[in-house]
Amino acid sequence: MEFISHPLIKPKTVERRGYQLSLAASALLDNTLIVLPTGLGKTVVALLVIASRLLNHDGKVLFLAPTKPLVEQHAEFLRRTLRIDESEIVAISGETPPEKRPEIYGKARVIVSTPQVVENDILTGRLKLDDFVLVIFDEAHRAVGNYSYVFIAKEYMQRARNPLILGITASPGSDIERVREVIGNLFIKNLEIKTEYDPDVRPYVSQKEIEWVKVEMPEELQAVKKGFEKSLEMRYRKFQRLGLDIDISNATKKELLALQEALQTQAGETGEQVYFEALSVLAEIMKIQHAIELIETQGVDALKRYLKRLFREAKGRGSKASKSLFEDPVFRESMIRALKVSVEHPKMRKLIEILREQFERKPDSRVIVFANFRDTADKLVEVLRRHGFKAEKFIGQANREEDRGMSQREQLEVLNAFRSGEVNVLVSTSVGEEGLDIPATDLVVFYEAVPSEIRAIQRKGRTGRGREGRIVVLITKGTRDEAYYWASVRKEKMMYDMLYRLRDEIRARESDYSLKRFIQLEEETPRLVIYADSREMRSGVVRKLREKGVDVIVRNLEVADYVLSERVGVERKTVDDFLDSLVGRERLFSQIMNLKRSYQRPVVIIEGESIYGRRRVNPSSVRGAIATIAIDFGVPVIFTRNEDETADFLVSIARREQEIKKRDVSLHADKTKRSLREELEYVVSAIPEVGPVIARNLLEHFRTVRAIANASVEELMRVPKVGRKTAERIWRFFNTPYSEESYIHEEEGEET
């Protein structure tokens, strides 16, 4: 075996493969997305690019992965292979104390982290990406929508002095628009695709035998299924009678979810009862469909657990849909029949046969059984242990109702036991599909087919890694198992056809997301600065401000949620927050008073829709509170629809203040500890029409606050940037007697 020779790669640690070297060489030229099947060394390609960038450029590397186990896995691999001090390769997760992270970032050369942690640390100022010479996005197909990868990529391309992006994935999917979105979000200018059938890859791929095993559904289960189908048909007719002119009788689960989202939008915008009724019927349809899917693909045990959960929902504070189902005699009859059935799904017997045959032929085999549902995984482990197999489940970390997830430590312990042979059958949910370095296996069993080409490719990649492998797909005849299987096959073929077309398109045209033009545009636009309260991190506004090119500085603000200039402070409330505050108005009005005392131009933003149509709050109360803020306190109230519109308003005001009016950003209400010099500047800058710049000029000229107070208008006008109007305002500030009647009418400039 020939090994890679590189100054920053430890000798005899990485096998030399031509296709990996060519992919790495291509990735060093420009931002690249690499599509390479599971088991063919995507992480090795990343290692080669990391070593080259660290050798030839002064900077750091960020390696992002979507889960904690993947982060630990990548960090351990890099420590084993990179020839740099192991202490300079760090793994960061949410468990790392935030206050310690800046020091860790400062000392590290290679940082491996989950994207959510990195996004949060960028927003709070704990991490800056200026000096990073490479960012790697593992499982890059996740870079869509609001996922943290999207924000980090944009932030990196805006800030880094010498940026390079590498995205790696086994399967980006067959939806061309989604792949285009990934390419755009990661600023990709080069797409590289390798398959198991490419001549330079083929020598490293062990043979895989794929077979699908069909089983017949027992008559008892058929009868239960027919009862639920009758209940389902009643809902289809009920939905049709609503008059929405939408046929959902043949809709897929994905189409039903999209319809549900559209109906929710319509219900919120119009308030019409028909949309709320449609949503309730649709929820019932989806629950019945899930029950039928469990009968067809999982068996009666999984169905019984699901029905019991529905029953608890209906008896408790569950959804209207659950209650409606249990009021339906047809559904109740089907449920009672299901609870009485004791026949086992034939897949279970067939699985045991397949495993026995495998271990008789090869006693030291390693087997992974993939199941879609945790309930099924629990049942499989229980039955397999009863039949003498050393089985263990492998599930995600999330805790669900009556179902505790596995911690990262527990996951690693199970994988180590699987490697050593202490466990020889791993029963895994989808957590075992994506990226994890699960040891090479001799047999992979799909307990049910999956319609997703991404998941099918990842599952199949768990075998044939270094030795021959076998894949078995269990299918119940005449059910959605068959439809799902052929859907995944069709989508996988479509995916590669689409990727080749997309690659040719990228190579043929001048990229729409030209990096040079992007940087040029950013350099032409001065950057705005906005202070944000740390509690606003829970909203999406801070993130959207960063995406709009704003330097957001997160602080614990005593007053205001956002500070846009030395005179503008903004209090942001969602509609729900605002309605909550009406219960004890004293606190709301206290906030507004503090805001007005601290900033010359205070603003209140109320974010969200239907402020008069929620929670049965009397509209008069809502209007009264808004009138008090606007009229009695004199604070403008701005209404926005959502976080994005709020961010647009904040940017608009900040641009007017900072770019047009040339005002600095000052935290008048920030009560952090200051030096005496800073305290003097703070006090003087709080005088009307006086900001930080004029305050410093006044103190440098007069030396003391007392001298400023005793100065005449003419003496004040000798200070740089102090005109007559400002000088008169300062003089009146120090010389107007205090009484209940004394005030300065700001709008008309009239003193009383």
Query: Is residue 465 pLDDT above 70, yes or no?
Result: no
- Answer with the residue of higher pLDDT: 114 or 176: 114
The band of 510, judged by pLDDT with boundaries at 50, 70 and 90, is: very low
When pLDDT is averaged across residues 628-649 and rounded to a whole number, the result is 87
The yes-or-no verdict on residue 609 having pLDDT over 60 is yes
- The model's pLDDT over 326-368, given as tens digits with 9 standing for 90+, comes to 888 888 888 888 888 878 888 888 999 999 999 998 888 889 8
Please provide the CATH number assigned to the domain covering 219-340. Answer: 1.20.1320.20
Least confident stretch, 105-119, 140-154, 242-256, 325-339: 242-256
Q: Which residues of 90-119 are buried (b: 16+ CB within 10 A; e: fewer)?
A: bbbbeeeeeeebeebbeebbbbbbbbebbb
Cα(241)–Cα(118) distance, integer angstroms: 50
- In the predicted model, is pLDDT for residue 482 greater than 60? yes
Mean pLDDT of 462-489: 69
- The C-alpha atoms of residue 553 and residue 74 are separated, in whole angstroms, by 32
Asked whether residue 390 carries a pLDDT value surpassing 70, the answer given is: yes
**441 has which bridge partners?**
463
Banded model confidence at residue 121, pLDDT cuts 50, 70, 90: very high
What's the topology of domain 676-751?
DNA polymerase; domain 1 (1.10.150)
Segment 517-540, tens digit of pLDDT: 454 544 455 678 999 998 898 888
Q: Strand order in 110-113's β-sheet?
A: 89-92, 110-113, 60-64, 132-138, 165-169, 32-35, 190-193
How far apart, in whole angstroms, are the C-alpha atoms of residue 403 and residue 406?
10
Most confidently predicted of 161-170, 250-259, 375-384, 481-490: 161-170
Q: 221, 270, 279, 229: which is closest to 249 by C-alpha?
A: 229
The three-state (H, E, C) secondary structure of 248-312, written as one string:
CCCCCHHHHHHHHHHHHHHHHHHCCHHHHHHHHHHHHHHHHHHHHHHHHHCCHHHHHHHHHHHHH
Q: Looking at domain 18-204, does it have CATH number 3.40.50.300?
A: yes
Which CATH architecture best describes the domain 208-215+347-477?
A: 3-Layer(aba) Sandwich (3.40)
Q: Using one digit for the tens of pLDDT, what is the confidence trace for 290-317? A: 888 888 888 777 888 888 888 887 777 6
Mean pLDDT of the 608-633 span: 79
CATH of 525-660, picked from 3.40.50.10130, 3.40.190.10, 3.20.20.70, 3.90.25.10, is: 3.40.50.10130
Beta bridge partners of 61: 110, 134
Ranges 209-218, 280-289, 695-704: which has the least confidence? 209-218
Q: What are phi and psi of 656, to 5 degrees?
A: -65, -45
Answer yes or no: pTM beyond 0.85: no
Q: Which amino acid is it at 716?
A: L
Q: Where do the domains of the chain lie?
A: 18-204, 208-215+347-477, 219-340, 525-660, 676-751
Domain 525-660 and domain 676-751 have a common topology: no
Stretch among 30-34, 214-218, 435-439, 730-734 having the lowest mean pLDDT:
435-439
Average pLDDT over residues 91-100: 87
pLDDT at 164 over 90: yes
Residue range 218-229: mean pLDDT, rounded: 86
DSSP result, 615-635? TT--HHHHHHHHHIIIIIS--
Percent of the chain with pLDDT over 70: 86
